[in-house]
Structure 1
Amino acid sequence: MTFLFAWRYFKAKKTTNAINIISWISILAIAVGAAALILVLSVFNGFEDLVKGLYADFYADVRVGPAKGKTITLTTDQLQKLRGTPGVATMSLIAEEKAVLVNEEYQSIIYLKGVDEQYTQVNGLAKHIIKGKFLTGVADDPLLVLGAGIENAVGVEPGVSIQPLTVYLPNRKAVNFSGMDALNSYNAFVSGSFVLQQDFDNKYAITNLGFVKYMLDMAEDEYTAAEIALTPGTDVEDITDQLSAVLGKDYQVQTRYQQNQSLYAVMQMEKWVIYGILSIILVVAAFNMIGALTMLVLEKQKDIAVLRAMGADNHYIQRIFVNEGIVLATVGGGIGILLAAGICYLQIEYKLLKLSGGSFIIDYYPVKMLPQDFLLVVSTVFFISLLAAYIPARKASRQQFSLKS
């Protein structure tokens, strides 16, 4: 019954035209706030998915590394146990070290990553090759796959440059690290280059595992890490627990999230900051609602007096005007959410809004709508609206109005 009163008050034409205007301004403000929240959160989700996808193409589902130091030892028996663990689809062995890449007067400090034949099955880096091919060569004839940033830094182009690059790696057997024997060097040609993400493009060069192990004088069963791809549907946490039990405390087993924990934490924090800032729009709308409901209370003095005469208590009167606030929130929030959903759909289907500049992987704003974002926005709208409606509703329930004009 209280909701029926609220709905009739909403539809009825007010004696004072300003009440109608303020009511619709508050509805418009709620609609704008709700739409802005949905749109920005959906675009943020799109960028978040894009970034996670790019990192997923470089980082494996699970990484086994040293708990301390820079290298791990994986015996034949351990490798068999790892590969035989249920849920493990493919495993690639890695040897990685900082190096200096020189092309005559050009040089760049890089991370040289030696990989085996299974590496392309563990991640999706090979599909981001923009020049040449993903070929790493063999131990005595290495080939380099460079990030685009490194390619530019050393002035080389796959398939065009005829001069090899010189790779300098630390000599682990050197006695005097300030002398000439502190570094080992070897010539290598470039087979391809990739564009994935700036953090990787400016940092990594990929070659074969045997070459890096030879240059670093690593033992046969010595590696920097093992990267593992899991079968779809596998419980990642369960697998990491199993692998940790197999390997022991000297090994660190990390999921993709744990390998990039700071990145994911920052992205989540950014999302909540954006949500908090945009919620201020709804707070502004709440002030308009307070004004509209306060004026409505003053206009409905006689109605309130009649209801009291008929036996309505303070709580009943209060609920009428709280429900009036809910009506305003429902209309405004509903308009805003439908508008935002429509815009998001058009962007997903037709890519209407383009990104300026030509340096991005995609040329449009990515959008991803999530049900939990809609639920969050609906909850926020109703929570703020209830707080805003409570103030004039409480005032209406406590004041005594007379039927006399």
Structure 2
Amino acid sequence: MNLPFFVARRYLFSKKSHNAINVISSISVIGIAVATMAMVCVLSVFNGFGSIVEGMFSAFDPDLKITVKEGKVFDYHMPEFERILSLDEIGLISESLEENALFMYEDRQVPVLVKGVSEEFNYLTDMDKLIIDGTFRLREDSVNYATLGAGLAVTLGVRAGFVHPILIYAPKRDVQVNLANPAGAFTTEAVQIGGIFSLNQPEYDEDMAIIPIELARRLFQYDTEVSSLDIQLKSGASVKEVKEKMRNALGSRYAVEDRYEQQKESYNMLQIEKWVTFLILAFILLIAVFNVAGSLSMLIVEKREDIRSFRHMGASDQLISRIFLYEGWLIAFWGIVVGIAVGLILCLAQQHFGLLRLGDTPGAYIVEAYPVVVKATDIFIVFVSVSVISFLTILYPIRNLKRYLKNDSIL
């Protein structure tokens, strides 16, 4: 039997002679529990928002994206690309060409990021989830179609199915503008409006239009060049392994990015917000844990007679110190367990019932209630963090106890 732990457990549940010690101990447990619960809930909510962002980008971004590190475009009809594009893990390949152009509809003009894509793009992405008006289509017979971001459509004042086409003006490369005939410096094409998409991201919704890549090449005077190759892997294929194979084969001239790297800034910002909030809650926890040190110090003073009895029975100073170390740890442990349990219960309730809502207006937000995703790694981090903070705080009264025992000043 672990004698120090047994005595500490008896001290924890026994009634103290001074009711203030019971009150402070209870406050300590509650304080740690509330701070721990807040950590679990906050981290889970950030995970929920992260999953929503990931889901929106996953519908648009490929598993792997190959771009050139220097310059805008590249021609992938080369031996090194033939080797990597013939890998068994690859399921689908889509060409993409992005450039800036001017869209004109009646008397409205808007600079636009034009994304030319091949027919495989429709199978590579889940555009049906993003379309809010019309349908996603690139070309029917001899008619070219453009799919516009929702913000861009509002700026132009258009909707899917409008009869009048949009005129696209792209500056000709290596051609100087002639003031007598400025239109001669631009390549002009017309497209019909096929659909409107919304990704709830301003850089896409307000600036992007998707057109056939053949039309984009005519506009920007390219032959077979692309801005990127978008790759979808077969089910079960390892993104990490395929990415490493491609990087080794292509060398340092090209960048091979997975979905997280394609949206690196967004993911990094979300993670920074998550862990900064976690640190703020950790400081709040530190204040709560000081109550444990206070209640432990008061308990040491109250148990002076017990300490004297232990000494007379031959207990070492180390054994006595361990009793109160375990006592402080048990107070913190109960707070941690209760906090994690309550936090998990609240997260599950939020997942199933949506107790906390983002607003009262239906459809005003992407989701009606705060999203929650509980991750085992976050629970482990919370448990370890709170345990370490509690343990380090408990060491202060224990160190004083050891000094008093050495000098016999507590007896």
TM-score of the aligned structures, taking structure 1 as reference length: 0.93
Paired letter, 2:93: M
- 389, 395, 399: which is aligned to 1:390? 395
| 1:196-215 CA distance string (max 9 Å, x none) | 12231112111111111111
Deviation at 1:295, TM superposition (A): 0.7
Structure 2 residue 189 is matched with structure 1 residue 186: yes
1:180-219 counterparts in 2 under 5 A?
180-198=183-201, 199-219=203-223
2:241 matched to which residue of 1? 238
Structure 2: give runs of 5+ residues left out of the alignment: none
Deviation at 1:152, TM superposition (A): 0.7
| 1:331-359 CA distance string (max 9 Å, x none) | 11111111111111111112222112543
Structure 2 residue 129 is matched with structure 1 residue 121: no
Structure 2 residue 277 is matched with structure 1 residue 277: no
Structure 2 residue 273 is matched with structure 1 residue 290: no
Deviation at 1:319, TM superposition (A): 0.8
Please identify, of 356-365 and 105-114, the stretch whose mean Cα deviation from structure 2 is larger: 356-365
Residues 43 and 278, structure 2, Cα contact 8 Å, conserved in 1: yes
Identity of aligned residues (%): 33
Does the C-alpha gap of structure 1 residues 59 and 307 become closer, same or farther in structure 2, counting only changes over 3 Å? Answer: same
- 93, 96, 114: which is aligned to 2:95? 93
1:327 matched to which residue of 2? 330
1:3-402 counterparts in 2 under 5 A?
3-75=5-77, 80-137=82-139, 141-159=143-161, 161-176=162-177, 179-198=182-201, 199-219=203-223, 221-356=224-359, 358-400=363-405
Q: Quick one: distance in 2 between partners of 1:391 and 1:155?
A: 68
Deviation at 1:238, TM superposition (A): 2.5
| 1:138-194 CA distance string (max 9 Å, x none) | 6952111111111111111113x3221111112125233874333222221111111
Secondary structure of the 2:366 match is coil
Residues 33 and 338, structure 2, Cα contact 8 Å, conserved in 1: yes
Paired letter, 1:386: F
TM-score of the aligned structures, taking structure 2 as reference length: 0.92
Does the C-alpha gap of structure 1 residues 134 and 76 become closer, same or farther in structure 2, counting only changes over 3 Å? Answer: farther
Secondary structure of the 1:15 match is coil
Deviation at 1:235, TM superposition (A): 2.5
| 1:216-259 CA distance string (max 9 Å, x none) | 1211x222211001123323232223223444544332222222
Deviation at 1:318, TM superposition (A): 1.3
Does the C-alpha gap of structure 1 residues 271 and 177 become closer, same or farther in structure 2, counting only changes over 3 Å? Answer: farther
Deviation at 1:121, TM superposition (A): 2.1
Secondary structure of the 2:196 match is strand
Equivalent pairs, count: 402
Secondary structure of the 2:151 match is helix
Residues 306 and 403, structure 1, Cα contact 8 Å, conserved in 2: no
Does the C-alpha gap of structure 1 residues 202 and 315 become closer, same or farther in structure 2, counting only changes over 3 Å? Answer: same
Deviation at 1:362, TM superposition (A): 1.2
Structure 1: give runs of 5+ residues left out of the alignment: none
Q: Quick one: distance in 2 between partners of 1:325 and 1:248?
A: 57
Residues 138 and 211, structure 1, Cα contact 8 Å, conserved in 2: no
Please identify, of 77-86 and 89-98, the stretch whose mean Cα deviation from structure 2 is larger: 77-86
Does the C-alpha gap of structure 1 residues 141 and 174 become closer, same or farther in structure 2, counting only changes over 3 Å? Answer: farther
Residues 46 and 270, structure 2, Cα contact 8 Å, conserved in 1: no
Q: Quick one: distance in 1 between partners of 2:243 and 2:184?
A: 41
Q: Quick one: distance in 2 between partners of 1:305 and 1:86?
A: 76
Q: Quick one: distance in 1 between partners of 2:11 and 2:52?
A: 48
Does the C-alpha gap of structure 1 residues 241 and 403 become closer, same or farther in structure 2, counting only changes over 3 Å? Answer: closer
Please identify, of 315-324 and 179-188, the stretch whose mean Cα deviation from structure 2 is larger: 179-188
Does the C-alpha gap of structure 1 residues 209 and 403 become closer, same or farther in structure 2, counting only changes over 3 Å? Answer: closer
Residues 89 and 230, structure 1, Cα contact 8 Å, conserved in 2: yes
Q: Quick one: distance in 1 between partners of 2:40 and 2:178?
A: 57
| 1:40-95 CA distance string (max 9 Å, x none) | 00000110111112112221111111221111112276665443212111000111
